[in-house]
Amino acid sequence: MNPLVQLRGISKHFEKEVAVSNVDLELERAQITVLIGPSGCGKSTILRLIVGLIAADEGNMYFDSAPISSDTITSIRRRVGYVIQDGGLFPHLTANGNVALQARLLDRSGKEVKARIAELCALTRFPENLLDRYPVELSGGQRQRVSLMRALMLSPELLLLDEPFAALDPLVRANLHRDLKEICARLRQTVLLVTHDLAEAAKLGSLIVLMQSGRIIQSGTFDELRDHPATPFVAEFFNAQLGGLQS
């Protein structure tokens, strides 16, 4: 089967600064791909390019073999779920309101929406009795679960996660890692996860793509990257994060 998303020779500049340079990337279906690298390496920019928040200067992108363009982007967005670091939940809507928003605007029936939300609560282990709460009344971990439910509401083909666990404390993060992995496996979900945390990448990713200064330096499994670093930077990146664990 063809990859769900393909990037061919994508470049993006902000003013004179290079954000992404000549990137080729393919997202295989039913697989978690992890984009990793130091901050400012261009990993979040790639997510923003895929959902059309910014436009590429050069190169082509395809979603399910169809080109991503300004004409197709709105319909593609409905096939993509997106979760950002602080969740991006709308503070004026309850958890339920946030999750149901898209479906309601698409005129889905109330019954259908309700059933789907119950299903998502079970899937993301979010207590149904908290659905009437506003984001400000929820804990950080609960907010990310709501955000995940919102992203999954329309059963998207692609799930984009932009450092969704970065602001959470380690225990909550570990629980969410475990749940997310289970959810993705059960749904056979195609995922692109952005993180700077190598342990997270190791736990969740089947394919790890390491970036530096807007370029992809190496991609492969965790073991491949650790055992056969393509450049000294790869080795250094691994040592810096894993060294702390070993000492």
Partner 1 sequence: MKLSALLLIASVATAQSDSVVIGSKKFTESYVLAEIARQACQSAGVRAEHRQGMGGTIILWEALRGGGIDIYPEYTGTIAEEILKQRGATETDIQTALEQQGIGMTKDLGFNNTYALVMRREKAARLGIKSISDLRGHPELKFGLTHEFLDRRDGWRPLSARYGLARTNVVGLEHALGYAGLVSGEIDVKDAYSTDAKIADYDLVVLADDWQFFPQYKAVFLFRKNTSAAAIAALNKLTGTIDETRMMRLNAEAERTKSYIAAAQLYSGESSESGAESLSHKLWRWISRHLELAGASLALAVVVGLPLGVIASRGGATGQTILAVTGIIQTIPSLALLALLVPVPFFGISVRTAIVALFLYSLLPIVRNTASGLQDISRPLRESAVVLGLTAGQRLRRIYLPLASRSILAGIKTSAVINIGTATLAALIGAGGLGEPIISGLNLNDHVTILQGAVPAALLALLVQLAFDFLDRIFIPRGLRIKS
Binding site for partner 1 (CB under 8 A): 48, 51, 53, 74-75, 77-78, 80, 82, 84-86, 88-94, 101-102, 105, 134-137, 150
User: Which CB, 42 or 87, lies closer to partner 1?
Assistant: 87
User: Which CB, 36 or 89, lies closer to partner 1?
Assistant: 89
Shortest separation between residue 136's beta carbon and partner 1, angstroms? 4
d(C-alpha 61, C-alpha 27), whole Å:
11
Shortest separation between residue 51's beta carbon and partner 1, angstroms? 5
Shortest separation between residue 166's beta carbon and partner 1, angstroms? 13
Shortest separation between residue 165's beta carbon and partner 1, angstroms? 16
Residue whose C-alpha is closest to residue 241's, from 199, 209, 205: 199
User: Which CB, 62 or 134, lies closer to partner 1?
Assistant: 134
Residue 90 contacts by C-beta under 8 Å, 6 or more apart in sequence? 97, 98, 101, 135
User: Which CB, 102 or 212, lies closer to partner 1?
Assistant: 102
Strand partners, 207: 33
Shortest separation between residue 50's beta carbon and partner 1, angstroms? 10
User: Which CB, 77 or 203, lies closer to partner 1?
Assistant: 77
User: Which CB, 116 or 150, lies closer to partner 1?
Assistant: 150
Shortest separation between residue 26's beta carbon and partner 1, angstroms? 22
